[in-house]
């Protein structure tokens, strides 16, 4: 594919609170080309949002320590100054947050809030330009421009999320990070928001990182997927590879797909993955998934598996390493 936009190299993030160190993200490697859509899936607490905030260098200043590099257009954002970051944020990378209900400031009209971003990044241009851009972007997300004088509480959840998307897209960013953009919305609104995001993505050629729990959404929307578990990427690759059940997979991914009820088959009970994700403050030795893994071997308890490429996608599991050797 095209040019490389974002490259995450060996990223680790630790949070320290009261002397307890939580390993939120461990040695993550990711690449994203221009215009590509990457889905990051994983349980709550797998480090998805931390990775996303890392890309914007918005991790809490006093509690988070980072190692590794995040290169955006060749610039390491983790070491960039606050001034440089303020230029990148909003203009080159923007983010849509999980809860549209609380992501808009209740004291300003939506037009004002969209205009603010445009103004920050187009200081030399005048009022008319800002106004025009606000109208344009509101029309783009399907909200009548005359509603820009209304306050966030005048809008429904789905419309607020569309306004958030409008704010995120106002400066034509090269990278859009969508952190569970549909979690707070009901299913019909989800479909609207996603189809709108997709058509906008095609139109503007923005690269997207979609963070979600929803595998169906990933299958629909993304080019690539990375599955995170305990701060690691345990499997990643092209969408066809991950969703192809004949391919070898990480046991966690098998479990994830296994826990989705099939519409064609009658199921009395769902089949979840037994157990919980390990506490990031005391990660197990060896493979982080071994306490829950049905195929756990002795080597899994002591040695961390290497990432290997099987059938064009990356898996971090001893079973696959074995197969490679065999």
Q: Which residues pair with 310 in a beta bridge?
A: 313
Size of the site for another protein (CB under 8 A): 34
Strands 175-179 and 93-96, by their bridges, are: parallel
Residue closer to another protein by CB (options 86, 279) is 86
By the rule CB under 8 A, 262 interacts with another protein: no
By the rule CB under 8 A, 33 interacts with another protein: no
Residue 176 Cβ vs another protein, minimum distance, rounded to whole Å: 11
Name the nearest CA neighbour of 7 among 77, 82, 104: 77
Quick note: the x/- pattern for another protein over 163-202, rule CB under 8 A, is -x--xx----------------------------------
By the rule CB under 8 A, 99 interacts with another protein: yes
Task: Out of 61, 123, 127, 268, point to the residue binding another protein (CB under 8 A).
Answer: 61
In this chain, which stretch among 80-88, 210-218, 225-233, 287-295 interacts with another protein, using CB under 8 A? 80-88
In 201-304, DSSP assigns E strands to 207-212, 224-229, 232-238
CA 28 to chain centre: 13
Residue closer to another protein by CB (options 83, 262) is 83
- Element (H or E) spanning 220, and its range? helix 215-221
Separation of alpha carbons 22 and 13, rounded Å: 9
Separation of alpha carbons 62 and 318, rounded Å: 36
Residue 253 Cβ vs another protein, minimum distance, rounded to whole Å: 30
Separation of alpha carbons 86 and 104, rounded Å: 19
Binding site for another protein (CB under 8 A): 56, 58, 60-62, 82, 85-91, 94-95, 97-99, 102-108, 116-117, 120-121, 153-154, 164, 167-168
């Amino acid at each position: 594919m095209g040019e490389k936009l974002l490259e995450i190299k060996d990223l680790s993030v630790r949070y320290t609170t009261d002397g307890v160190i939580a390993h939120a993200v461990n040695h993550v490697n990711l690449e994203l080309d221009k215009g590509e859509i990457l889905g990051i899936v994983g349980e709550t607490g797998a480090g998805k949002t931390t990775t996303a905030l890392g890309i914007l260098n918005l991790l809490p200043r006093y509690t988070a320590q980072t190692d590794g590099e995040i290169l955006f257009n060749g610039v390491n954002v983790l070491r960039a100054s606050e001034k440089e970051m303020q230029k990148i944020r909003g203009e080159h990378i923007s983010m849509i947050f999980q809860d549209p209900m609380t992501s808009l400031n209740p004291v300003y009209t939506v037009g004002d809030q969209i205009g603010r971003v445009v103004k920050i990044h187009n200081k030399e241009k005048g009022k008319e330009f800002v106004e025009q851009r606000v109208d344009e972007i509101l029309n783009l997300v399907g909200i009548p421009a005359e509603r820009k004088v209304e306050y966030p509480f005048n809008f429904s959840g789905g419309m607020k999320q569309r306004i958030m998307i409008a704010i995120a897209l106002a400066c034509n960013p090269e990278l859009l990070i969508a952190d569970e953009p549909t979690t707070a919305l009901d299913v019909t609104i989800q479909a609207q928001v996603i189809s709108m995001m997709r058509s906008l993505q095609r139109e503007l050629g923005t690269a997207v990182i979609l963070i979600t729990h929803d595998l169906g959404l990933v299958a629909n929307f993304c080019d690539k997927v990375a599955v995170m578990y305990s701060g690691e990427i345990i499997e990643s690759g092209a969408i066809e590879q991950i969703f192809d059940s004949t391919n070898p997979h990480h046991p966690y991914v098998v479990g994830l797909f296994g826990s989705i009820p099939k519409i064609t088959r009658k199921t009395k009970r769902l089949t979840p993955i037994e157990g919980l994700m390990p506490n990031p403050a005391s990660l197990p030795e060896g493979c982080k998934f071994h306490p829950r893994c049905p195929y756990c071997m002795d080597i899994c308890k002591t040695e961390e598996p290497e990432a290997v490429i099987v059938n064009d996608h990356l898996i971090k599991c001893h079973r696959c390493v074995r197969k490679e050797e065999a």
